[in-house]
Amino acid sequence: MKDSAPHAAAPACMRLAKELRELKARTGLSLAVLAERTAYSKSSWERYLNGKQLAPRQAVEALCAMASEPPGRLTALWELADAEWSGRARSAARAGSAEEAAQPGHDEPGDRAPTADEAQQGSRKANTARRRWAVAAAVCAVGVAAAVWAAALPDAGAGDPVGQGARTRPPDPGCRAQGCVGKDPGLMGCGMPEHVRALGRPHRTSTGAWMEIRYNSGCEAAWARIWHTHVGDALDVSLPGGKPQRAEVADKYDAEDYLYTPMIDGRDLTGLQVCFEPAGGGSRECFRN
């Protein structure tokens, strides 16, 4: 697998990387956790998400599973990105151009040799024809990409007069209330951005880190998240009489991303408290909901 992006513009590769970043955000998982739960290292995930390297198909499918995303649309996009990355798409375009240029002319035997002006004009026409062929090939490729992508969407456009297609129903959460305690909001389907709201405003700590309480009414669960952290920082969320749920910044990958605590029962959040402990044993900072 090559470690650098292809030289030519690669819209499918860029789109795939963007889609993978959105899936990762939906899961709420750090790069370190992705590495723990898949066969790919943190540095590999960093390259996949930033478009520095094409993600393997299995990595795309694994992230889809963790985000509760049907894999059809993303694997169809991966096929297009793989063709771009490997150079097969460019090779096909060059082969078609060479075939067009190699077509025999229509001169009849005994025709006179062309003048210099005629030869120059013929060269310009040939160049124009090749450019038109290249544009047509590009348009065709975009059309195929759109068709493959549309075909991968369930019921896309069927019975829909405006062509918007039916959206898939979001999956049911994997837990609720007390059943969510101590579990990962991303893996349980509770961390999808469209179903989550913040409780109150984010709080800035003395070190510059920010912390926030998150809540999903469908899961009836809450958790805390933190960002702009340093390795060794820690965060916990708790309710009176309950066990605190804690997360620690393990490495630079955690520090560069959101870090989430496991969940607590969100049916009654009276007295909910979130506490931050800076690396190196600094003063503990807490705030209540």
Tell me, what DSSP letter sits at residue 286? E
Residues 126, 30 within the same domain? yes
Both 20 and 62 in a single domain?
yes
For residues 91 and 136, membership in a common domain is answered with: yes
Share of the chain above pLDDT 70, in %: 67
**Mean pLDDT for all residues in the chain:** 75
Specify the 3-state DSSP secondary structure of 71. coil
Residues 189 and 261 in one domain: yes
Residue 277 within a domain: yes
Which domain CATH number covers 233? 2.60.40
Query: What is residue 88's predicted lDDT score, i.e. its pLDDT?
Result: 66
Per-residue exposure over 251-260, b if at least 16 CB sit within 10 Å of its own CB, e if not: eebbbebbbb
Q: Rounded distance, CA 31 to CA 110, Å? A: 72
**Residue 224 reports pLDDT greater than 60:** yes
Between 95 and 168, residue with greater pLDDT: 95
pLDDT of residue 231: 93
pLDDT at position 164 is: 40
Residues 19 and 145 in one domain: yes
- Cα gap 251→123, rounded to integer Å: 60
Establish if 227 belongs to a structural domain.
Answer: yes
**Are both 144 and 208 inside the same structural domain?**
no
**Shared domain check, 126 and 17:** yes
Give the pLDDT confidence score for residue 171 in this predicted structure: 60
Rounded to an integer, the average pLDDT of 155-161 is: 41
Write down the pLDDT at residue 186.
80
Q: Does residue 172 lie in a domain region? A: no
- Can you read off the two tokens belonging to residue 269? 């959040």
Same domain flag for 24 and 145: yes
**Could you tell me the pLDDT band of residue 8, with boundaries at 50, 70 and 90?**
very low
User: Are residue 148 and residue 182 in the same domain, yes or no?
Assistant: no
Q: Please check the confidence at residue 142 and state whether its pLDDT lies above 60.
A: no
Residue 102 burial (C-beta neighbours within 10 Å; 0-12, 13-18, 19+)? exposed
Residue from 258, 273, 261 nearest 210 by CA: 258
Average pLDDT of the segment spanning 220-242: 93
Look at the chain and report how many structural domains it folds into: 2
pLDDT at 170 over 80: no
User: What range does the domain containing 238 cover?
Assistant: 177-288
Q: Quick check: is 167 in a domain?
A: no
What was the pLDDT predicted at 215?
A: 94
